[in-house]
Amino acid sequence: MLNRSFYLGSLKLPSNILCAPLAGCSDLPFRRMLSKYKPGLMYCEMVKMEALLYNQLKTFPLLDKDPDIHPIGAQLCGSNPKIAAECARMIEDRGFDVLDLNCGCPVDKVTKDGSGSGLLKNPEVIGEIVSNMVAAVKIPVTVKIRAGWDSTSIVSPEVTRIVEAAGAKAICIHGRTRAQAYRGPANWDYIKIAKEAATTIKVIGNGDIINIANAERMFKETGCDALLLARGTMGQPWLIEDIYNHFEGVPAKTRSPIEGRDIFLEHLEHIVAYKTPEKAHLDLRRVGCWFLRNINGAKALREAINRASSIEVIRKMIEDYPWHNCEIIPMSIKEETAAPDETPQSSPLREESGASVTKCEASLLVEESPRLSEEIIQCC
């Protein structure tokens, strides 16, 4: 359950409620918004090892962070053990508190070179990469995986033992296979058997934690040591606070549409302060989908934001909308009917907590950067 003194090695975190690295989403404005609710740890967006090593220009902005927002983690993705140590040192030198190895991203362009969930086919390589990272840095190294490549090759217990022996301080298991993609509910039994295989390593549960009830169920059903929130924080960053209040016996807050409006406007200001006007305009349309998808009566505003000509127009629309006619509804997982082990396609417009991208979000993909168009809302 909730732990207000959660350790990764010698690093003390303020809680065991953590926030996931979301490619295309966990930028600096998003993390500034989350920091208001004081998660135990936040991660930046995933970075490829090779891109970091060879100083690709688009890579370093993904690692932007505020000097006063800690603890903060970075996540690396790659399959080459020979460059793991150097990349790990680069992350440590940039002042990060935690380093995570991505072994879960199911996107084709990541797995084709054996990276991301492609590493699940070679657990021994995961161990070699982790061992090299651990030997190179003083900060704790963690690992994030899916349960296996498909339902016939569940490797969460095996990988847990391997990375524990290699020196990792925690492993996060997402309760779906790579082949399953984002279809159907996460299978938390895959997390439970990993926890049973662990001796000293912390096991973090991930997948479908979109509300207080699922947070409590995850702890009870898996015995995991911590939670990693993903989609649940998109448009409702207060979920972190709600989980704290629930476990600490504080009466639940009723979140009103007016509060949702104010937090949306606050997120807007973080975006405008950080990005160019052109990028901020596009980002506000995408972020608007997150905040408005679970508000009854906000459809007209959502559509108007997509057509808006400027940031100023969007701000005025939000401020003037008749919020008293709206109602916040609980977030839910939208299951899909595709076969559980159907291979994900090359443009997986999904997010790792298991729900589909909204039509609103999908409509913006053609206007976003190539990276976002392929990875938007991917928790890797």
**199 part of a folded domain:** yes
SS (H, E, C) 68-100: CCCCEEEEEECCCHHHHHHHHHHHHHCCCCEEE
**185 part of a folded domain:** yes
pLDDT in tens, 47-99: 999 999 998 878 999 999 999 999 999 999 999 999 999 999 999 999 999 99
pLDDT in tens, 151-168: 999 999 999 999 999 999
Residue whose tokens read 């975190």: 13
Give φ, ψ of 240 to 5 degrees: -60, -50
Beta bridge partners of 202: 170
**118 part of a folded domain:** yes
Over residues 110-125, mean pLDDT: 95
Predicted TM-score (pTM) of the model is 0.89
**357 part of a folded domain:** no
Domain with 88, as residue range(s), is 6-247
**358 part of a folded domain:** no
Q: Which helix (H) or strand (E) holds 173?
A: strand 170-174
**336 part of a folded domain:** no
Peptide bond into 71 cis (omega under 30): yes
Marked catalytic residue, from 25, 87, 103, 105: 105
Split into its structural domains, the chain has a count of: 1
**73 part of a folded domain:** yes
Q: Which of 117-121, 138-142, 285-289 is the least confident region? A: 285-289
pLDDT at 250: 96
Strand 41-48 relative to strand 72-77, pairing:
parallel
Over residues 16-40, mean pLDDT: 96
Give φ, ψ of 70 to 5 degrees: -140, 155
Q: What mean pLDDT value characterizes the chain?
A: 88
pLDDT in tens, 325-343: 999 987 765 543 333 333 4
**89 part of a folded domain:** yes
**CATH label of the domain that carries residue 17:** 3.20.20.70
Q: How many CA atoms lie within 13 A of 86 on its CB side?
A: 13
19 counts as catalytic: no
pLDDT in tens, 267-308: 999 999 999 999 999 999 889 999 998 899 999 999 999 999
